Chain A
Amino acid sequence: MFKYILKRIGLLLLTLFVIMFMCFVLIRMLPREMPQRTDQLEATLQRWEALGYNEPILTQWGIYLKNIFTKWDFGTSWNIDYLAPAWNVIADRLLPTVLVNLYSLILSIPIGLGLGILAAVKKNKWPDHIISTGIMLFVSVPSYVYAFLVQYLFYFKLGWFPLKVYSVADAGGSYFTAKMFYSMIPPILALSFGTVAGLARFTRAELTETLTSEYMLLARAKGLTRGQATVRHAMKNAMVPILPMIIGEFIGILGGSMIIEQIFSIPGVGQLYIQSINTLDYDVFMMDGLFYTFIGLLAGIVVDISYGFIDPRIRMGER
Chain B
Amino acid sequence: MKKKLLCLLIVLCLVVPTCVALTACHKDQGIYTYHGYTTALGTNWNPHTWEMNADSAIMEQTGLGFVDSIYYGEGAFQWHYEMATEIKDVTATASAADKTKWGIEDGQTGRMWQIKLNPNAKWENGEAIKADDYVWSMKMQLSSELKNYRANSYYANDFEIVNANIFYNQDKVGQRAQVAIANEEEYNSLMSTNQNVYIDIAGAWGVVTATGSTFALITDETKIRDEAVEEGQDGDWISPKEIYETMLNGSSLGVLLGNSLLLKDGDPIPAITFDDVGLYKVDEYTIMYVCAKPVAKFDFMVMCNGASWLVHKKTYEDSIVEAAGTKTSKYGTSKETTMCYGPYKMESFQKDKQIVWVQNENWYGWEKERGENGELVSYITLADGQKHRQFQMTKYVIDVMTDEAAKQAFLKGDIDELSLDSDDIPTYATSDRLSKVDETYTMRFFFNTGATEQLDKGNNNKNSVVLTNKNFRNAFSLAIDRSELCTTATAGFKPAFSMLNTLYYYNVAEDPTSIYRTSEWGMKTVVELYDIEYGADKQYKTLEEAYNVVTGYDLTKAKQLMKTACDELVAAGKYKAGDPIKIQVGFSAFALTTTDTKHQTLMNQYLNAAAEGSGFGTITLEYVGSLTNRYKDVTAGNYAIGYGAWGGAAFYPFKLFECYLEPDEVTGGIHEQGCFDPKTEVLKIDEFTYTDSNGVTKTFAGKTLTWESWSKFLKNASLGNDTIDDINLRLALLSRIEKAYIEQYYCVPIAGSTIVSMQGYRTENITQTYNIMYGFGGIRFTSFNYTDAEWAKFVKDNAKNGVLPY
Contact = CB atoms under 8 A, between A and B. Distances in A.
A148 B405 CA distance: 9
B212 A34 contact: no
A183 B151 CA distance: 43
Interface in B762-785: none
A262 interface: yes
Contacts of A38: 202-203, 214, 667
Contacts of A47: 324, 326
A79 B414 CA distance: 30
A168 interface: yes
Interface in B10-58: 10, 13-14, 16-18, 20-22, 24, 43-44, 49
Q: Which of B148, B402, B801 has the largest number of chain A CB atoms within 10 A? A: B402
B303 interface: no
B43 A265 contact: no
B629 A151 contact: no
A319 interface: no
A175 to B, nearest CB: 11
B152 A156 contact: no
B437 to A, nearest CB: 24
A51 B212 CA distance: 13
Interface in B790-806: 801-803
A193 B424 CA distance: 31
B743 interface: no
B24 A179 contact: yes
Interface in A34-50: 34-50
A31 B629 contact: yes
A33 interface: yes
A40 B208 CA distance: 12
A83 B414 contact: no
Contacts of A185: 18
Nearest to B325: A50
Interface stretch (B240-248, B346-354, B591-599): B346-354
Nearest to B211: A49
B353 A167 contact: yes
Contacts of B238: none
Contacts of A34: 667-668
Contacts of A265: 353, 399-402, 405
A27 interface: no
A156 B804 CA distance: 11
Nearest to B43: A82
Contacts of A39: 152, 155-156
Interface in B332-361: 333, 347-348, 350-354, 356
B212 A83 contact: no
Contacts of B22: 182
Interface string A37-72: 111111111111111001000000000000000000
Given A40-B152, A178-B20, A80 B43 contact: yes
A98 B57 CA distance: 31
Nearest to B356: A169
B24 A156 contact: no
A154 B666 CA distance: 52
Contacts of A262: 402
Interface stretch (A3-11, A157-165, A202-210, A307-315): A157-165
A39 B321 CA distance: 23
A287 to B, nearest CB: 15
Interface in A62-114: 76, 79-84, 92-93, 103, 106-107, 110
A76 B43 contact: no
A164 B399 contact: yes
A46 B212 contact: yes
Q: Which of B49, B155, B202, B354 has the largest number of chain A CB atoms within 10 A? A: B354
B274 to A, nearest CB: 20
A292 interface: no
Contacts of B399: 164, 167, 265
Interface string B209-229: 011111000000000000100
Interface string B624-635: 000011000000
Contact of A163 (B321, B405, B628): B405
A33 B408 contact: no
Contacts of B43: 79-82
B206 to A, nearest CB: 10
A170 interface: yes
B7 interface: yes
B351 A81 contact: yes
A93 to B, nearest CB: 8
B753 interface: no
B436 interface: no
B333 A156 contact: no
A155 interface: yes
Nearest to B803: A156
A41 B667 contact: yes
Nearest to B401: A265
A181 interface: yes
B652 interface: no
Interface string B314-327: 00000001011110
A152 B351 contact: no
B62 interface: no
B116 interface: no
Contacts of A54: 210-211
A35 B645 CA distance: 17
A181 B17 contact: yes
B330 interface: yes
Contacts of B351: 80-81, 92-93, 267
Contacts of A179: 21, 24
Interface in B657-679: 666-668
Interface in A241-284: 262-263, 265, 267, 271-272, 275
A267 B41 CA distance: 11
Interface in B374-417: 399-402, 404-405, 408-409, 411-412, 414
A212 to B, nearest CB: 26
Interface in B606-633: 628-629
Q: Which of B353, B404, B801 has the largest number of chain A CB atoms within 10 A? A: B353
A263 B402 contact: yes
Q: Which of A51, A151, A152, A267 has the largest number of chain B CB atoms within 10 A? A: A267
Interface string A277-302: 00000000000000000000000000
Contact of A267 (B155, B324, B326, B350): B350
B14 A152 contact: no
A49 B672 CA distance: 31
Nearest to A80: B43
Nearest to B411: A156
A1 B351 CA distance: 44
Nearest to B328: A83
B524 interface: no
Contacts of A81: 43, 333, 351
A30 to B, nearest CB: 8
B147 interface: yes
A110 B321 contact: no
A26 to B, nearest CB: 15
Nearest to A36: B667
Contacts of B411: 156
A304 B293 CA distance: 73
A48 B20 CA distance: 52
Contact of A275 (B10, B152, B352, B402): B352
> What 10 A-B pairs are tightest by C-beta distance, nearest first?
A45-B212, A182-B21, A50-B325, A82-B44, A167-B354, A39-B152, A178-B17, A169-B348, A178-B20, A267-B352
Interface of A: 31, 33-51, 54, 76, 79-84, 92-93, 103, 106-107, 110, 148, 151-152, 155-157, 159, 163-164, 167-170, 178-179, 181-183, 185, 262-263, 265, 267, 271-272, 275
Given A36-B667, A156-B412, A163-B414, 15 more contacts: A34-B668, A43-B151, A45-B211, A45-B212, A49-B212, A79-B43, A82-B43, A82-B49, A83-B333, A92-B351, A148-B404, A163-B408, A163-B409, A169-B356, A178-B18
5 contacts: A40-B152, A80-B352, A110-B7, A169-B356, A182-B18
